[in-house]
A and B are shown apart, each in its own frame.
Chain A
Amino acid sequence: MTDLVIQTILLSFILLGIHSYFGLEIVRRGIVFADIAVAQFSAAGLALSLLLSGEPSYLISVVFALLAGFLVALSKRVGEYSEAFIGLLYAFGFSAIVLLLSRSPHGMEDYLRLTASDILFVSRREIVETGILYASLGFLLYLRRHIKGDFFRELLFFTLFALTVASSVKLVGVLVVFSILVAPALVSVMLGKGLIFAWVYGAAVNTAGILLSFRLDLPTGFSLVFFHALLGVALTVYVATFRRRKGY
C-alpha cells in the first residue's frame, strides 16, 4: 500500500502547488466563493453533457467553468457586491445540476462517480498529466504581470483559474479542491505569511490527513477536507482570541 499512499500524497502536493497560489489571490480579493461557484459550474457542464449524450464531456465542463470565471471577473466591476453575486452563481450551478439529473436516468450514479470520485482513485498517468498541465498554467500565471490593463489581467487570471478548477474537480471532486485552495491560504494570510508558508503548511496537513485516513480506514478525500477545515477553524479561533487579548 505504501506506493498508493505516496502516490496520493504526491497528487495532493501537485494540487496544492497551484491551488494555494489561487487561494491566496482569492482570499486577498475577498471572493472565496469564486472557487466553489466555478467548480459547481464545471460540474453542471458535466451534468448537462451526461443528459445530452450519456457521456461526460470534459470540453463542455471547461466551457462552463470558463463562463463562470468570466462572470466572476465581470462581477468585480460591481465591487462590494461581488461575493453575493458569486454565491448566487453557486446556487445556480448547484440547482441546475439537480434539475438536469432529475431528468436523466443513470444520472446520479454517473454524476457521483465524476464529482465525488475519491482522491485515492487517481491513476499514475493522470497524476503525471495533471502535473504537466499545472506547470504550464503556472507559467502562464507568471506571465500575467506583463499584461496591460486591469480587466484583461483579471480575465486571464480567472480563465486560468477556471481551467485549473475544471480539471481538478474532475480528478478529486468539488470539496477537496475547495479545501486545498482556501484552508492553507486562509491560515497563511491570517498569520501574515506568504505563498511558501501556505505550501509548507498545506503539505503538512495533506500528509497528515492522508496518513490518518489510511490508518483509520476513512474515505481519503473527505478526511482531507475534514482536517483542513478543522485546523483552519481551530487556528482562526486561536488567532481571534489571542489577538483580542493583545488589544489588536
Chain B
Amino acid sequence: MERLIFLFLSLVSFSFAELRVVVTYPWIGELVREVGADRVELYVIAKGTEDPHFVIPKPSHIAKLRSADLLVIQGAQLEAGFLPPLLLQSNNPKIQPGSEGFLDLSSFVRLIEKPEVISRAMGDVHPEGNPHYNLDPHNMPVLARAVKERLCQLDGEGCTLYEGRLKDFLGRWEERLKSWDKGFSALKGVKVVAYHSLFNYLLKRYGIVLLETLEPLPGIPPTRDHIQRLINLKGVRSILLGVYNEERTARFVAGRIGARVVVLPHDVGSIPEVKDLFSLYDELLRRLKGD
C-alpha cells in the first residue's frame, strides 16, 4: 500500500517539480549542471579539497538525500567508506541502489587495474578496479550522455532541454579534447612517481610512465623500506601528489632523486584555479608540464 501511494505521489510530483539531484563529488555535479542547468536542484556531498575516500558525514547530507529524486555516484567502491550509512539513514526508496533514482557512473567506463585475484595482501585494492576514472578527459562524453539519459528518464518534459544542453557541452568538449591531446602528447614517455594511484587514468591515456607509488600498497602510508627502494630510481621527472596528501615524504624522495614535487588537482574545487571541468584538465596539463 505504501508503495502504491508513493508511486502515485511520485508520478504526480514530477509533473510540476524540478528534479532534486544529489551527487557525491564536485566533478559529477559539474556534469549534472552542464546537462540539467536550472531544471535540476543540485547538491554536492564532498568538497573538492577532501580526500574522496574519507568524506566526513554531516546531518545535512542525510537531509538532502531524503528529498532527492536522483543520486549520482562515482562508484567502484570509492564511496564505500561513507555513503552506505548515509543512504541507509536517508530512508529514501527512490535512490537506493538498483532503483531509477540511483546512477553509478563507473558502470559506463572501462575500469583499469581490475585485479585478477583479490587477496588482502595487495593493499587497499578496489575489486572493481581503479575508481579514479574521472581523471581521463576522454571518459567525460560517455558519462555526460549517461547523465542525460537518466535525467530524461526521470523528467520526460525536460528531455528536449537536456538533449540540447548535452549537444552543446559535447561540442565544446570535443574541441578542447583535441587541444588537450596535443598538449599532453608532449609528455609521452616522461617518468613519474605518484603518492597514490590517483592519476593513473590520465597517465595511461597519454603514455606517461608511472614507475612507482610512494605508498607501498594502496591506502598504506609510505614505509621506510619502501622509501629506501624508491631513492634508487633514475630519470624521474616529477612526484605527483593529490591536494590532501602529506608532502614531507615526497619532498624527501624528490630531493634524493632530483625530481620535483607537483601537486595536482583531482577534482573541481580542489584548488582555486579549478572552477569547472574544463579548467581541471587545463590545470593538470599546466602543472604536469611545469609552466
Minimum CB–CB distance from B77 to chain A (whole Å) comes to: 10
Q: Which of A77-118 contact B (CB under 8 A)?
A: 102, 104-106, 108-109, 112-113, 117-118
Interface string of A1-19 (1 = CB under 8 A from B): 1001000000000000000
Looking at A23-31, A62-70, A211-219, the stretch in contact with chain B turns out to be: A211-219
Q: Is the CB of B62 within 8 A of A1?
A: yes
Q: Which of B162-213 contact A (CB under 8 A)?
A: none
Q: Is the CB of A106 within 8 A of B62?
A: no
Q: How far is the CA of A4 from the CA of B86 in the complex (A)?
A: 12
Interface string of B209-225 (1 = CB under 8 A from A): 00000000111110100
Q: Which of B34-82 contact A (CB under 8 A)?
A: 53-54, 56-60, 62-63, 66, 80-81
Q: Is the CB of B123 within 8 A of A105?
A: yes
Check if B258 is an interface residue, CB within 8 A of chain A: no
Residues in B neighbouring A113, C-beta threshold 8 A? 81
Minimum CB–CB distance from A226 to chain B (whole Å) comes to: 14
Residues in B neighbouring A117, C-beta threshold 8 A? 85
- With contact pairs A109-B53, A213-B59, A217-B60 given, residues A121 and B89 touching in the complex (Cβ less than 8 Å): yes
Residues in B neighbouring A106, C-beta threshold 8 A? 120, 123-124, 219
Q: How far is the CA of A131 from the CA of B125 in the complex (A)?
A: 38
Q: Is the CB of A220 within 8 A of B124?
A: no
Check if B117 is an interface residue, CB within 8 A of chain A: no
Check if B12 is an interface residue, CB within 8 A of chain A: no
Residues in B neighbouring A123, C-beta threshold 8 A? 88-89
Residues in B neighbouring A194, C-beta threshold 8 A? none
Check if B109 is an interface residue, CB within 8 A of chain A: no
Check if B122 is an interface residue, CB within 8 A of chain A: yes
Residues in A neighbouring B53, C-beta threshold 8 A? 109
- With contact pairs A1-B66, A217-B58 given, residues A121 and B218 touching in the complex (Cβ less than 8 Å): no
Q: Is the CB of A105 within 8 A of B218?
A: yes
Q: Is the CB of B218 within 8 A of A118?
A: no
Q: Is the CB of A109 within 8 A of B219?
A: yes
Find A120's partner among B57, B120, B122, B220 (CB 8 Å cutoff).
Answer: B57
Find B57's partner among A1, A108, A109, A121 (CB 8 Å cutoff).
Answer: A121
Q: How far is the CA of A219 from the CA of B85 in the complex (A)?
A: 14
Q: Is the CB of A102 within 8 A of B57?
A: no
Q: Which residue of A lies closest to B221 (CB)?
A: A102
Interface string of A113-152 (1 = CB under 8 A from B): 1000110110100000000000000000000000000000
Check if B1 is an interface residue, CB within 8 A of chain A: no
Residues in A neighbouring B62, C-beta threshold 8 A? 1, 4, 120
Check if B5 is an interface residue, CB within 8 A of chain A: no
Residues in A neighbouring B60, C-beta threshold 8 A? 217
| Most chain A beta-carbon contacts within 10 A, residue among B54, B120, B221, B223 | B120
Q: Which of A220-239 contact B (CB under 8 A)?
A: 220
Minimum CB–CB distance from B245 to chain A (whole Å) comes to: 14
Interface string of B118-156 (1 = CB under 8 A from A): 001111110000000000000000000000000000000
> Interface of A with B (CB < 8 Å)?
1, 4, 54, 102, 104-106, 108-109, 112-113, 117-118, 120-121, 123, 213-214, 217-220
A-B contact pairs, 6 of them (CB 8 A): A109-B124, A112-B81, A219-B56, A219-B57, A219-B58, A220-B59
